[in-house]
Amino acid sequence: MNLHEYQAKQLFARYGLPAPVGYACTTPREAEEAASKIGAGPWVVKCQVHAGGRGKAGGVKVVKSKEDIRAFAEHWLGKRLVTYQTDANGQPVNQILVEAATDIDKELYLGAVVDRSSRRVVFMASTEGGVEIEKVAEETPHLIHKIAIDPLAGPMPYQGRELAFKLGLEGKQVQQFTKIFMGLATIFLERDLALIEINPLVITKQGDLICLDGKLGADGNALFRQPDLREMRDQSQEDPPRGSGGAVGAELRRAGRQHRLHGERRGPGHGHHGHR
């Protein structure tokens, strides 16, 4: 079960992770009011769907006026967004996320999955943020750095520092990255997740790290003990249970993603998850 970006960022905030100030809106008027709450523009407006490729499909836009925010919301709310990750029908847009724009200096990637071969939660970090991690794994695998979490010891700050150094971070960025790493690992374990991604995790022009995007996939088998995640479920984004659709199809796609990232060769799996 996937969460929307705005829901992922709500969880990030609960765990003290840095993300842009933003509001999920269901009407054009709410979107305009959100911009007023945030303060001076520019702002970023994003269609909230369970699919990657939103930017290329016109579902993410930087805007400089509230009129543009209203126009974006009027255009997309109630419509369906078609991206390279959806079928021809696309996904319904029921919310628009309005955020403060971020001055980006560099884009990184940080994510974690359950690696079934090692039976560990494995974190992956890369300097190649903003693109599909499967593409990086296929074309430049040496640019993905991995660390496995010991199930008994749990995540350790030194592991975060180790990844930070491999990404070329320095000074306060190492401390910030380690805090984000520890926070994500805690969310992953406490919330029974199957997937977590920040793509991109950006370095701002001021040299600070911020979670510009967020994707969370919950383990459907553990939802009975995660009532707040259950409440976040958006069934309008889920395929009907036929063929490769529905929960079973999602599990197969997630398994396929792990095979590609970890070089496993067991079992089926097609498709991939991104969140751009």
Phi, psi of 118 (to 5 degrees): -95, -5
Q: Among 113, 115, 114, 141, which Cα is nearest to 128's?
A: 141
Q: Which CATH superfamily is domain 103-276 in?
A: ATP-grasp fold, B domain (3.30.470.20)
Is 84 part of the annotated catalytic residue set? no
Q: Model confidence over 196-253: pLDDT tens digits?
A: 999 999 999 999 999 999 999 999 899 999 988 888 888 888 865 444 444 444 444 5
Is 109 part of the annotated catalytic residue set? yes
Q: Among 181, 135, 118, which Cα is nearest to 154's?
A: 181
The predicted model scores a pTM of 0.83
Q: Where are the domains of the chain?
A: 21-100, 103-276
Could you say which of 5, 6, 99, 109 is catalytic? 109
Q: Judge contact between 185 and 121, C-beta under 8 A.
A: yes
Helix, strand, or coil (residue 80): strand
Q: Among 171, 152, 11, 153, which Cα is nearest to 161's?
A: 171
Beta-sheet pairing, 80-81 with 209-211: unpaired
The CA-based angle 137-140-141, given to 5 degrees, is 50
Q: Model confidence over 13-65: pLDDT tens digits?
A: 999 999 999 999 999 999 999 999 999 889 999 999 988 889 889 999 999 99
State which fold the 21-100 domain adopts: Dna Ligase; domain 1 (3.30.1490)
